[in-house]
């Protein structure tokens, strides 16, 4: 089944990464969540890393957080999705909107020397055919990107405090009012 939705973009620039780190980054806490994820240690864009995420953040002076909300028609909110419907919807809409946001972030990265985009989670977007982590080094280190949460960021708090809306989840198989994708840009 196809669910109609509209898209709303929100963004906010944080001028001091150090302040962001104090309020929104807890590497140990979020690394524990990462360990529970099936993507843990399977892709180069996910932990564990051979670097300290705090050092990575500190290479940059400013951060822009960008949220993309997929807002569903009221008639569809609360619809129950079985596993097959969810995967079909995810492949159709969420993947499309993720790719669209990644294109926007890549474009901004090219326009701002020394900047790097933070992808929307779920593994690095560089290797669509599968990551090489289990076989060896990253095939495309120049395209390797991390997400806010994989670097210890509290995306739920960032979304609520900085973008002004809460994350919604599919609970009990029911379509929420909206789903969102959260990415960002780090600037030197």
Residue 181 contacts residue 94 (beta carbons within 8 Å): yes
By the 8 A CB rule, do 45 and 145 touch? yes
What's the CA gap between 179 and 169, in Å, rounded? Answer: 7
Quote the number of domains for the chain.
1
Q: Bridge partners of 11?
A: 66
> What 8-state DSSP symbol labels residue 38?
T
Q: What is the pLDDT of residues 52-88, one digit of tens each?
A: 999 999 999 999 999 999 999 999 899 888 888 877 8
For residue 18, pLDDT over 90 is answered with yes
For residue 110 the two structure tokens come to 């090219």
pLDDT greater than 70 at residue 1: no
Q: Which residue has the tokens 């120049």?
A: 142
pLDDT, tens digit, for every residue of 99-127?
999 999 999 999 999 999 999 987 777 87
Q: What is the Cα–Cα distance from 74 to 3, expressed in whole angstroms?
A: 10
Distance (Å, whole) CA 64 – CA 185: 5
**Is the predicted pLDDT of residue 90 greater than 80, yes or no?**
no
Structural domain boundaries, residue 157: 5-187
Instruction: Name the pLDDT band for 97 (thresholds 50, 70, 90).
Output: very high
Residues 6+ away with beta carbon under 8 Å from 99: none
């Amino acid at each position: 089944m196809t669910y109609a939705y509209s898209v709303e973009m929100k963004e906010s620039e944080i001028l001091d990464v150090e302040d962001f780190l104090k309020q929104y980054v807890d590497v140990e806490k979020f690394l524990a969540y990462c360990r529970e994820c099936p993507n843990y240690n399977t892709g180069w864009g996910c932990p564990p890393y051979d670097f300290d995420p705090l050092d990575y953040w500190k290479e940059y002076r400013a951060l822009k957080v960008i949220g993309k909300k997929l807002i569903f028609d009221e008639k569809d909110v609360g619809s129950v999705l079985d596993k097959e419907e969810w995967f079909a919807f995810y492949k159709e809409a969420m993947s499309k909107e993720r790719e669209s946001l990644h294109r926007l972030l890549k474009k901004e990265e090219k326009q701002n020397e020394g900047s790097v985009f933070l992808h929307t989670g779920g593994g690095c977007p560089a290797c669509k055919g599968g990551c090489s982590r289990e076989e060896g080094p990253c095939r495309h280190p120049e395209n390797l990107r991390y997400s806010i949460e994989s670097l210890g960021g509290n995306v739920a708090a960032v979304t609520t405090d900085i973008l002004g809306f809460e994350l919604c989840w599919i609970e009990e198989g029911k379509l929420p009012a909206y789903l969102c994708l959260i990415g960002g840009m780090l600037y030197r």
